[in-house]
Amino acid sequence: MSEPRYFSSSRVLLPTGTRPAALEIVGERIARVLERAAIPPGAPHEDFADRVLMPGLVDTHVHVNEPGRTEWEGFETATRAAARGGITTVVDMPLNSIPPATSPAGVATKAARTEGRCFVDVGLWGGAIPENTTGRSRGLGELLDEGVRGFKCFLVPSGVDEFPYVQTADVEAALAQLSGTGVSLMVHAEIAEPIDAATAALAAAGADPKKYETYLRSRPMTAEDQAVKLLFDLAKKTRTAIHVVHLSSAGALETLKRAKDEGVPLTAETAPHYLHFSSEDIPDGATWYKCAPPIREKANRERLWEALRAGLLEMVVSDHSPCIPDLKRVETGDFMGAWGGIAGLQYSLSAVWTGARERGFSLETVSQWMSTRPARHAALDGKKGVLAVGADADFVVFDPEGTFTVDTADCEHKNKLTPYDGATLHGVVHETWVRGERVQRTGQYGERATGRWLARGRG
């Protein structure tokens, strides 16, 4: 057994609250939580004074894109950015890579790419598409056997041909396969009809594609609201868990409240960019703000914050979805033709903390949104996202009072185009530790990428 090491602070964020404490770490895990005065004299010890020692974040919505589109982002750059932002575990979405994680071979190919490239631990979601849902009894089960932690599908075109969207019958088939597994189906919740109608009307009116308002009107709230109602009905009918990813429309909150009141297994997340930005402040031609669903108005943003307060939205994860600048149509500023996706992995914690502190939320609450609940969502609860005995020694040294201004020269993303550029954010990540090993300190990384693939059912 390795020698115990001790890490302490006057502010350690524990499940019972924040207080002076020390962590005893043996090997890769937390062995004890004790008083600072109880640290054995002469034992290996690092004290972080009054900086907060908090659980590493778990980001369950990251598009790494490797293999196949590694020029957009790859495991090395994505996990460096994650570590810089205090994220110690990411779970990668199944699309944008070639092949996608929609078959056992696709999962195995992607999992092999994690070895030696990851600075934090990595899980993989699988993709639910028509080919592995309708007419199949174990299409998704085969992917679970390969180690994915759950499934993602789209109700509208995903943006890449190799990841087709599903119809209602496909969703029902997927839910039938997942019944009794404890695995939820994650859904990009927009339906096509309102989007198609709005887009056609804007084209007929000659709306300027460089104006953000044009793009915003092309993805109306009704597309999300109707999709969430459909998912409510399916979750109620099948009693199988459905999770709405990156909710942007506050109009769907009434349905989520109904699900909560009636015990229907329908949950939802939102993303930092929906909480930080608002459509009124997005300049025309600034296509790096484009995502789907879109960033909406200030009033909508405030309703999302209140939904977090009320527990209708359970967690906040990045939906980091970068691409090369050419696909963002930077030269032309064409919102309608640009790729939709926000690059923000490195800044998620600070962006959310900036808004949360202004609205009276505690850091403990933010940690629930960004660490504890995402860990539970990925079936990593008790192992990740919490400072407790038996958990992996994943923690962040964080200064919640500090501020910094985002400078893309200091950005670890492969492509530096981000709407956070120039923003002043609260909360500075000083160090990130994964399984008892320091991954980064103020942008200086270890010599080796020691992150692991967290395959479901394999420890």
Write down the domain spans for the chain: 56-380
Residue 459 pLDDT class (50, 70, 90 cuts): low
User: How many whole angstroms separate alpha carbon 122 and alpha carbon 394?
Assistant: 13
Mean pLDDT estimate for the chain: 97
pLDDT for the residue numbered 2: 85
What gap in Å lies between CA 262 and CA 260, rounded to an integer?
6
Average pLDDT over residues 253-275: 98
Report the C-alpha gap between 180 and 159 in whole angstroms. 31
pLDDT-derived band at 458, boundaries 50, 70, 90: confident
Tell me which residue of 440, 420, 419 sits closest to 430, measured CA to CA. Answer: 440
pLDDT of residue 457: 84
- Six-digit token string for 132: 């592995």
Confidence of residue 448 (pLDDT cuts 50, 70, 90): confident
To the nearest whole percent, how much of the chain has pLDDT over 90? 98
Share of the chain above pLDDT 70, in %: 100
Pairing state of beta strands 5-14 and 17-26?
antiparallel
* Cα–Cα nearest to 32, from 4, 12, 10, 2: 4
Q: What is the reported pTM?
A: 0.97
Which position has the token pair 């778990």?
Answer: 58
Task: Identify the residue with better confidence: 46 or 458.
Answer: 46
Mind listing the pLDDT tens digit for each residue in 104-160? 999 999 999 999 999 999 999 999 999 999 998 899 999 999 999 999 999 999 999
Confidence tier at 57 by pLDDT (50, 70, 90): very high
Contacts of 114 (CB under 8 A, 6+ apart): 75, 122, 451, 452, 453
In whole angstroms, how far apart are CA 299 and each of 191, 256, 281, 338, 425?
A: 23, 19, 13, 26, 21
pLDDT of residue 447: 84
Residue type, 400: P
* Alpha-carbon 370 to chain mean position: 8
| Res 446: pLDDT | 86
pLDDT at 1: 65
Q: Could you name the CATH architecture of 56-380?
A: Alpha-Beta Barrel (3.20)
Residues 233-252, mean pLDDT to the nearest whole number: 98
Q: Please say if the pLDDT value at position 74 is more than 70.
A: yes
Q: Of 135-139, 222-226, 293-297, 425-429, where does mean pLDDT reach its minimum? A: 135-139
pLDDT at 72: 97
